[in-house]
Amino acid sequence: MARLNTLRVVYTSIALLAPALLLGLNRAALYAALSGVLSLALGDSLYLKSIKTAGVSIAAPASYSYILMEQFVAVALGEPLRPTYLVSSLIIVAGIYVLSRGEGEGRLLGVLYALGAAASWAGGYAAIKVAGAGGLNPISTAFVRALTALAALSWSARGLGVGEAMRRTWRTPLPIIAVLDLGVGAALFAYSAVAIGVSLTVIITGVEPLAAQIMARAMGKERPGLREYVAAVLILTAIIISLI
């Protein structure tokens, strides 16, 4: 998992290097760098540890509590603490819990890893908004995040055979998936965080686990069950409430 996390930031850094240099950087890149360390290097690593220790049924709902945490972090950035956002955040966490039930057995250490990931993501995503408010364009923000995360992860990548893994995966869908996730996705998040606020942005992106389930079913990999339908209703309800 650590090798996969490193490969993701490697491919994203390579793909975004030229566009970021063309669009330029400024001092706000320091906040994008902070986001890379917090959300990609530390947060994602803790999340992977949580999955390994406690299983996804515990890791997913506990880590997605960052959506609720973000509502309070956003206050420090000048955004209002809207009651509808708090309600939506709680409903989304409940929806993720329902969606992830049935796999693995929880342990306290796994929960602590997941909560650590949530706190890291909350801080990292807030830093994205600060970078955007400072004039850094979304593409450069995504590039700096990935590059900084790569630097932070490099110490743990020794002995993992990352070079060999790149030779085996550069012609696979992995580079495209990584760039779509950490490149395009992060750039859109950066734009949205400035345009509509980080509070609402993280609520809307809470549909990500549900979207993954839908894609898996569309590809014939899985079949929907009652819990998937319940989770869908909860998450979509939360989105509607947040827009009121």
Give residue limits of the domains in the chain: 2-242
Sign (positive or negative) of CA dihedral 143, 8, 89, 232: positive
Give the tokens for residue 180: 């779509």
The vertex-204 CA angle with 198 and 209, nearest 5°, equals 120
Residue 57 has pLDDT above 90, yes or no: no
Higher pLDDT among residues 177 and 219, named by residue: 177
CB neighbours of 85 closer than 8 A, spacing ≥ 6?
A: 71, 199, 200, 203, 242
Residue 138 has pLDDT above 70, yes or no: yes
Residue 229 has pLDDT above 90, yes or no: no
Give the tokens for residue 174: 């992995």
Residue 133 has pLDDT above 90, yes or no: yes
Mean pLDDT of 52-67: 82
How many Å apart are CA 151 and CA 96, to the nearest integer? Answer: 31
How many Å apart are CA 89 and CA 192, to the nearest integer? Answer: 17
pLDDT at position 235? 82
Mean pLDDT of 154-182: 83
Residue 137 has pLDDT above 90, yes or no: yes
pLDDT digits (tens, 9 = 90+) for 197-224: 999 999 998 887 777 667 766 666 556 6
pTM of this structure:
0.86
Count of C-beta atoms within a 10 Å radius of residue 116: 19
Round the average pLDDT of the chain to a whole number and report it.
87
**What are the helix (H) ranges across the chain?**
2-23, 29-35, 44-54, 56-63, 66-73, 83-100, 108-133, 138-157, 162-169, 174-178, 186-195, 198-204, 208-218, 226-242
Residue 244 has pLDDT above 80, yes or no: no
By C-alpha distance, which of 120, 119, 123, 138 is closest to 28?
A: 138
